[in-house]
Amino acid sequence: MRQIDHFIVGDSPASSNSSGRKHAIWNPSTGEVQAEVALGDAALLARAVETAKRVQPGWAATNPQRRARVMFAFKELVEANMQRLAEMLSSEHGKTVPDARGDVQRGLEVIEYACGLPQIMKGEYTHGAGPGIDVYSMRQPLGIGAGITPFNFPAMIPMWMFGMACAAGNAFILKPSERDPSVPVRLAELFLEAGAPEGLLQVVHGDKEMVDAIIEHPDIAAISFVGSSDIAQYIYARGSANNKRVQAFGGAKNHGIVLPDADLDQVVTDLTGAAFGSAGERCMALPVVVPVGEDTAEKLKEKLLKSIAGLRIGVSNDPDADYGPVVTPEHKARIEQWITTAEEEGAEIVVDGRGFTLQGHEKGFFVGPTLIDRVTPQMKSYQEEIFGPVLQIVRAHDFEEALRLPSEHQYGNGVAIFTRNGHAAREFAARVNVGMVGINVPIPVPVAYHSFGGWKRSGFGDIDQYGVEGLRFWTKNKKITQRWPDGSHDGSNAFVIPTMG
């Protein structure tokens, strides 16, 4: 049985698993346990923090350009190891290898942005703000940051976090998902190989016990989290109460609004990839489509049926597969239960993915593509995140009703509108109460030099991930007002408290 350990400076495998607890890692394609990962505790975290405290001041004092050179070297190493990283990721998560390569690549885009941090970290300067007075600012690292990342993007989201944090001069402790931890450990190894100081980026594995230890540790200044909304809210509340800076991103129920004038063939292509790609295990997936008008709904449904019929479900390393298995047997059962719930609520199961098996891999965690029509906002299956290869159709009578659906939903992560009408698209983008909007773009994840973040129960905290917002999160802004007296003894150059004249 393969054993996956923490990545902590100076710890042997025996000492780093002092808790004795382990978590099984599945091969989702075969349904077999392929490895075990050690689960840490507060004592292990404390050792990692002590190392980070020793390393971070020297790293922060390093010339920003030299820090950027480490990021450049890391980028090159990840690119050189891209295929192996994708295969490793795919074997534990279940997404196809090309999809896994995309996972790594989207993380690398933020690393590329972080290579330019010396430029965007520059402060502001005002000469002559007062008599002989200049004012300037500088951005300084927080000290030690922590990241708690989900199973569905084990390469991309860690790089979103530690790339920005470390480039800004912080040390970083990563707690990845215990479901697919191998790639985060390998990324930490490559970061060290790129020239980062030993102990700057460390990886600790664990469950709620480790999460609580991160929240409680007084020397961790900031926490970035991506996962479910309930846990996001918990981490945000507890972390803020402990005087930490926290950004916590939760679940989603992204809608795709289809106006009558949309190119339905293109919409169906986009929807099929956005709803069923990566088995729907994306916070930016598109699990709800809202056709406007009955005629639009019927035409769209007919085209979707043909597209879904052509989908190929396969093992993660099948080069012809459109998507692979879901991550665990528990998650498979949960998705199928949501389909049953929708059926019990009165929705129409048009295509049923329950009970799907793959010949030769009958024990794998496969869920067939599922299409559910006649879904209403009152249904629990609409209100909650399913996180699987399930597409729901909610029919709207007009534009205003379609606009209200995502705006009033508890989640506000992403939304898309499909139309040829520029005015309608502009109006929708301005009025919809959602954090990220796509116009004829089904998965509107902003590029690395913008920022990522949802609203409502999709995002807790005031600052988004990566881009300039990421720099703001991982640094504190110091403001300096300076004056150099000329040495006059008559007091003519003395500073006096200003008064209203």
Q: Would you say residue 500 has pLDDT above 70?
A: no
* CB-CB contact of 461 with 415 (8 Å): no
| C-alpha to C-alpha distance for 500 and 191, rounded to whole angstroms | 56
The contacts of residue 137 (CB under 8 Å, 6+ apart) are: 123, 124, 125, 477, 478, 479, 480
Secondary structure class of 141 (helix, strand, coil): strand
Helix segments in 432-489, DSSP class H: 467-474
Four-point Cα dihedral 157, 160, 162, 168, nearest 10: -170
Number of residues that this document lists for the chain = 501
Between β-strands 144-148 and 222-226, what pairing exists: parallel, antiparallel or unpaired?
A: parallel
Q: What is the DSSP letter of 302?
A: H
Q: Rg of the Cα trace of the chain? A: 25
* Whole-number Å distance between alpha carbons of 457 and 385: 11
- At residue 272, the pLDDT reads 98
Residue 204 CB partners (closer than 8 Å, separation 6+) = 6, 8, 40, 44, 45, 48, 173, 174, 175, 210
Distance CA 119, CA 18 (A): 43
Q: How many CA atoms lie within 13 A of 411 on its CB side?
A: 28
Torsion sign over Cα 428, 430, 435, 437 = positive
User: Shortest CA distance to 225 belongs to which of 274, 276, 283?
Assistant: 283
**What's the mean per-residue pLDDT of the chain?**
95
Q: What is the 3-state secondary structure (H, E, C) of 321-369?
A: CCECCCCCHHHHHHHHHHHHHHHHCCCEEEECCCCCCECCECCCCCCCC
pLDDT for position 20:
86
Provide the pLDDT confidence category of residue 1 given band limits of 50, 70 and 90: confident
DSSP 188-210: HHHHHHTTPPTTSEEE---SHHH
The whole-angstrom separation of Cα 485 and Cα 163 is: 43
Strand, coil or helix: 284? coil
CA–CA dist 45, 68 (Å, integer): 27
Supply 330's token pair: 């528990």
Tell me the pTM: 0.95
Q: How much is the pLDDT for 14?
A: 47
Q: What is the pLDDT of residues 47-101, one digit of tens each?
A: 999 999 999 999 999 999 999 999 999 999 999 999 999 999 999 999 999 999 9
Tens digits of residue pLDDT in 192-224: 999 999 999 999 999 999 999 999 999 999 999
Question: What's the rounded Cα separation, in Å, for the pair 74 and 112?
Answer: 10
Structure confidence by residue, pLDDT tens digits, 164-173: 999 999 999 9
CA 118, 123, 127, 131 torsion-angle sign: negative
The DSSP code for 396 is B
Q: Is the per-residue pLDDT at 439 higher than 60?
A: yes
What percent of the chain has a predicted confidence (pLDDT) above 90?
93
Q: Exactly one of 25, 49, 283, 289 is catalytic; which is it?
A: 283
**Residue pLDDT, tens place only, 260-302:** 999 999 999 999 999 999 999 999 999 999 999 999 999 999 9
Sheet holding 21-27, edge to edge: 2-4, 32-39, 21-27
> In which band, very low, low, confident or very high, does the pLDDT at 9 lie, cut at 50, 70 and 90?
confident
Residue-wise pLDDT tens digits, 387-413: 999 999 999 999 999 999 999 999 999
Q: Tell me which residue of 148, 143, 135 sits closest to 223, measured CA to CA.
A: 148
Closest alpha carbon to 75 in 24, 47, 112: 112
Q: Residue 496's pLDDT is what? A: 65
Instruction: Supply 206's token pair.
Output: 């664990």
CA atoms 347, 284, 268, 98: torsion sign: negative
What is the tens place of the pLDDT at every residue in 12-45?
554 556 668 999 999 999 999 999 999 999 999 9
Distance from C-alpha of 405 to C-alpha of 253, rounded to nearest angstrom: 11
What does the pLDDT look like over 113-142, one tens digit per residue? Answer: 999 999 999 999 999 998 889 999 999 999
Q: Which of 370, 378, 279, 373 is nearest to 331 (CA)?
A: 279
- Angle of helix 82-93 relative to helix 97-114, nearest 10 degrees, comes to 120
- The single-letter DSSP state of residue 227 is S
Identify whether 283 is a catalytic site residue: yes
